[in-house]
């Protein structure tokens, strides 16, 4: 069983660059949008996490660009809980246009408290992921 | 005498859109960059203002687009203290490429305290602007 | 009768700034998203307009900020064809959270051809708006 | 000998998020700014590359986040030609605040022609990098 969530997003002009493609940094925003969906699906929206005095800063971001996304494309962005190890969580993301894979990558995050120290993930989060298979680290 | 500050900025690919021009929302970021320069010139960098428990949220932003800015252009962005009225301040901005005016506009802000209530501007700010002529409201 | 279109949009972390509000330039992106919806509603998506050799650059953008939008808010962004005069079109926009008005403003555009010269709007566009009442210029 | 270029950049409010840090996607924009400096240092500004009918799309982007950058920080962003292999080029980037390393990563690009086909890099580029040592692939 995998813990995963998706959203659809239509590319605005704002996201394009003069190559007529989506500018590469925007994919990390797309990843974030799907990640937020995932957190809501788990029952722990990011705002609630912050209310609990917890943050989930990014330690690492990786994106592989396969095919360009374009203006007005409807993208399906998916985030999947890929791995959990101590306070670290890895979330895999894909950006598709229909069946076509445009980009894929992942982010690694650490649960921290308000003082920036590593902190055990909240129980609701741990409960949600116990059924997720562990995959080998990147 | 006018209170004014400028900075030079080279347009990255990130700021362009598929029309090969700088995307229109970015000019408000350029305005902000010049505004921050202005605050530093006054001796009240925005971070210091926040330390004083003060914020300066935007109430209004206006931009007139004359000619497109392009990738790799070196822009000169200028912010000028245009008007002060109670807790409100109006800052006029221009974006130029050499002598060419590409865009101009302004933002209106209000000094507020941490609770979001209007608050008298800090003395250092008032001192800096006493020599600035009042111009008629837009 | 008015020609108008809306979309819902959930505020990602990307759009916030350290004041914990949506950064002010992002509202112009929101305006664009609604404008694109409007063009699609009219039957002339912006990509089709460009295929016709036509562009619709922004001449003026105005935004009045009433209340801050925040992370995870679901915003309803609406664009309304406000006025048509020669090659110029004015589109009014609002950003709401439920019934609350957070921001409102407008953009003014001109229909241009590939050489950057003013050009009569395409017939499909004119047909769509004939039923729209003319409002006084700003 | 290494081929490398840097620029200084002051963090505007626009780049922050509600965690009061620079939002993670912005680092890819910082990487691009330094990359452009590198291309200019080589004598092949990106605009000139495009005039030659050549593009250099991103295939891969990686960023490791060490410490948060903050509003008003003056960042030194450096791009270094790390590796050349056929039509592919890898550019390593660092983001520092003084001596402190805040983030590091790289991008991988491919030289392509207007039709999106792999293309030999221009001679001026190859000449510039012949003195650069090849480093092992990531």
> Domain residues of chain B, as ranges?
4-129
Mind telling me how many Å the CA of D127 is from chain C's nearest CA? 38
Examine the pLDDT at A135 and tell me if it is beyond 50: no
DSSP D53: T
pLDDT, tens only, C26-59: 999 999 999 999 999 999 999 999 999 999 999 9
Size of interface A-D (CB pairs under 8 A): 54
ipTM of the complex: 0.92
Short-list B4, B25, B2, CA closest to B77: B4
Pick the CATH number of B4-129 from 3.40.50.300, 3.90.1150.10, 3.10.129.10, 2.30.40.10: 3.10.129.10
First to last CA, chain A: 20
Chain B residues inside the 8 Å CB shell of D107:
none
Partner residue facing B12 (CB), from D10, D29, D45: D29
Token couple for C118:
């003013």
Q: What is the pLDDT of residues D52-83, one digit of tens each?
A: 899 999 999 999 999 999 999 999 999 999 99
pLDDT at C97 over 90: yes
Selecting from C13, C32, C45 the residue whose C-beta is nearest the C-beta of A32 gives: C13
Q: D14 to chain C: which residues are within 8 Å by CB? A: 17, 23, 25
DSSP state of B71: T
Chains in contact with D via at least 3 Cβ–Cβ pairs below 8 Å: A, B, C
Judge whether residue A137 has pLDDT over 50.
no
Spatial distance between the Cα atoms of A129 and A2, rounded to a whole number of angstroms: 8
Q: What is the pTM of this model?
A: 0.94
Q: By CA distance, what is C26's nearest residue in D?
A: D14
Å between C96 CA and nearest CA of chain B: 16
CA separation for the pair A61, D105 (Å, rounded): 9
Interface mutation target, options B28, B50, B111, chain C, most CBs of C under 10 Å: B28
Judging contacts by C-beta atoms under 8 Å, the chain C residues touching residue D12 are: none
């Amino acid at each position: 069983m995998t813990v995963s969530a998706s959203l659809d997003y239509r590319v605005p002009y704002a996201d394009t660059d003069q190559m007529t493609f989506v500018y590469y940094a925007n994919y990390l925003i797309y990843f974030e949008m799907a990640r937020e969906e995932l957190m809501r699906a788990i029952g722990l929206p990011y705002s609630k996490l912050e209310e609990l005095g917890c943050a989930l800063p990014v330690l690492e971001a990786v994106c592989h660009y396969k095919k360009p996304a374009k203006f007005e494309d409807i993208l399906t962005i998916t985030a999947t809980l890929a791995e959990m190890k101590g306070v670290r969580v890895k979330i895999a993301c894909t950006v598709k246009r229909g069946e076509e894979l445009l980009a894929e990558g992942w982010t690694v995050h650490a649960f921290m408290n308000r003082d920036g120290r590593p902190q055990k993930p909240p129980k609701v989060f741990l409960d949600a992921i116990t059924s997720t298979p562990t995959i080998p680290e990147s």
